[in-house]
Chain A
Amino acid sequence: MVIMNRGVILAMLMLCATVEATQFEILPKFCLIGEKDTCDTTLQIQWHAESSACLINETTKEILRCAPTEYAYRITLHSKETVRFSLIDQSSQKVLATREFKVLQHQPQALQERRLAWSIFR
């Protein structure tokens, strides 16, 4: 039991170390659109990994780019929904980091009141 706990802790520490070693950034992080609009924007994606890594669009399962340890990438995006990107280690296929580009829909206001709030007769 004690050995297992140590093992778990060690694995967690290693995971933290791996995550910290990988830098993965997407800019901008958000896109605000109208109810029926599509977000059209260019994303700047940068990463730094300890070994070759591949950028994957998790939403479409498309491998966008594989590159050695550092890379800066620009992508034009057309989406109505939040897009999730993953950076995976090219050799082990392990997910190094994930980031979301959030597409937020501006929700229409609630209906305007059909009657005066302080009027009691229709």
Chain B
Amino acid sequence: MFSGFRHPLIQTLLLLAASLMAHADEYDIAQSQQLRWQFSVAAGYGQYGSMLFDEKASNLVVMPRWSLYYQRFYLENLDVGFNLVETEHFSVDLSGKQNFDALSVRYASSEDSLIKSIAFNNVKVPISWNTELSEVLNLKKRHLSYLAGISSYFRTDNVEIRSEWHTDISGVHNGHEWNTLVRYQYQLHGLDLAPTFGIRRLDQHFANYYFGLANSETSDLLLNQPGPMWLPSVKLDASYEVLDNLRVMASLKREWYPTRVTKSWFIGTRQHDIWFVGLMYRW
């Protein structure tokens, strides 16, 4: 999956990070104080939705979260970044991020979903009498991909606008993603609320890989290539500080897909939900 790290963009990112580490001893104490890290664990209950036909969501019970900031470099779980421009209101970073679209469409039972959907939707599949449906289907597993690109942030006191463009560097689908998010943050005593509105644009390679049905997967019978798509989303993060390092927190996110993805018969819904409610302890 990560064989594509020969990609020039990630090479640049890694070289910049290595250069930063190599010169660390040249900086004085004031700069070493810029090292910040945080580790949190959230325990509770939530679900990571599945878009497969007649497939249940996965349960979420424990969610780790870590971050590390050192000078211009940062790590946020599986996302990495190297800052190019940083002002009070504006930032530009080279960034890499893990893409999780595969998780919503790649259960072990995804081919079962396709067969059930074909039956349920009474899809006409022209196969001969002595051929099993499963013999003409060869649904491939959708792999996770890692993306690299550029992220920009504009922020005021309570509002943050993030716009980022990333391309696949893992050689999984070779697609691009453009993502824009607007987040408002409201704080009152110990309560934090942060609604986020987003829109994501997937190019045809990206969208077809995860949400399409290729000729080779259905013996040329059920081709569906949904093509480039816009995916609006809403997210609400809420937390309340119970103790110094302990918060009650909840996160809910819904993303909408175009109707045409459901013509890839293994997909049964055009919306994807993730939610989690629990306690978060922070070190």
| A positions within 8 Å CB-CB of B | 105, 107-122
Contacts and interface: CB of A to CB of B under 8 A. Distances in A.
A109 B30 CA distance: 10
Contacts of B185: 116
Contact of A120 (B36, B153, B194, B276): B276
A118 B34 contact: no
9 contacts: A105-B30, A111-B86, A112-B155, A114-B79, A115-B76, A118-B40, A118-B192, A120-B280, A121-B276
Interface of B: 30-31, 34-36, 38, 40, 42, 63, 65, 67, 69-72, 74, 76-77, 79, 81, 83, 86, 91, 93, 97, 151, 153, 155, 185, 192, 194, 235, 237, 239, 247, 249, 251, 253, 274, 276, 280, 282
Q: Which applies to chain B's interface (DSSP): helix, strand, loop or mixed?
A: strand
A3 to B, nearest CB: 44
Nearest to A105: B30
Nearest to B79: A122
A119 B239 CA distance: 8
Given A116-B194, A121-B274, 20 more contacts: A105-B30, A107-B30, A110-B36, A110-B70, A110-B71, A112-B86, A112-B153, A113-B69, A114-B93, A114-B153, A117-B40, A117-B67, A118-B239, A118-B249, A120-B280, A121-B235, A121-B237, A121-B276, A122-B79, A122-B97
A107 B70 CA distance: 13
B38 A117 contact: yes
The 10 closest A-B CB pairs, nearest first, are A110-B34, A118-B239, A119-B237, A107-B30, A120-B63, A121-B251, A115-B76, A110-B69, A111-B69, A107-B31
